[in-house]
Amino acid sequence: MEELDDFRSETPQAHYQYTDGVLRITLKHDLIIDLRTAQKIEHFRLEMTRGYAIPVMLVIPGDYLLLDPEAFRYFTSDRAMQGCSALAMVIDAPLRVLLRNFSLFFHRMESPIRIFTKRKEAMMWLFEAAVKSKIEPEAESESV
């Protein structure tokens, strides 16, 4: 995705930056994250990536005003995961992260999703997920 290298953009809801093969979406502070906001964020991401499947880091600052459970479900839905090879959500609230990660075990998802409290750990996981997704199809074709 050379055309996105070092791409940066901003909307009323978030800052978008594509570097090192990862799209970082950092939500703005004091944001009410409801279903409509989540849909706007994902709509812009899909327009920006033009259908390419790339790893995404979604950073939700700890000072958000509301993270509606419906918005969280939307971020992890098959519809929102289109064009997303892996999703790392970074939330600055350890108990919330534990509860959200636990709830992800009960959903079947096409792309890997994980929640973190530290950006560095999220980036390492995204890089590992990207490498793994490149290796798995070859391994499957050899066994057939």
The pLDDT value recorded for residue 65 is 80
Quote the CA–CA distance of 93 and 91 in Å, as a whole number. Answer: 6
Q: Mean pLDDT for the chain?
A: 79
Is residue 25 within 8 Å of residue 15, measured between CB atoms?
yes
- Tens-digit pLDDT profile for residues 46-101: 988 887 889 999 998 888 888 788 888 898 888 888 888 999 989 876 655 556 55
The closest of 112, 133, 107 to 122, measured between CA atoms, is 112
Indicate whether 143 pLDDT > 50. Answer: no
Give the ranges where 10-118 is alpha helix by DSSP (H).
Answer: 35-49, 69-75, 94-104
Specify the pLDDT at position 105: 47
Higher pLDDT, 28 or 20: 28
Handedness of CA 118, 46, 8, 130 (dihedral sign): positive
Q: Domain ranges for the chain, please list them.
A: 2-143
The CATH number of domain 2-143, selected from 3.60.15.10, 3.30.300.30, 3.30.750.24, 3.40.630.40: 3.30.750.24
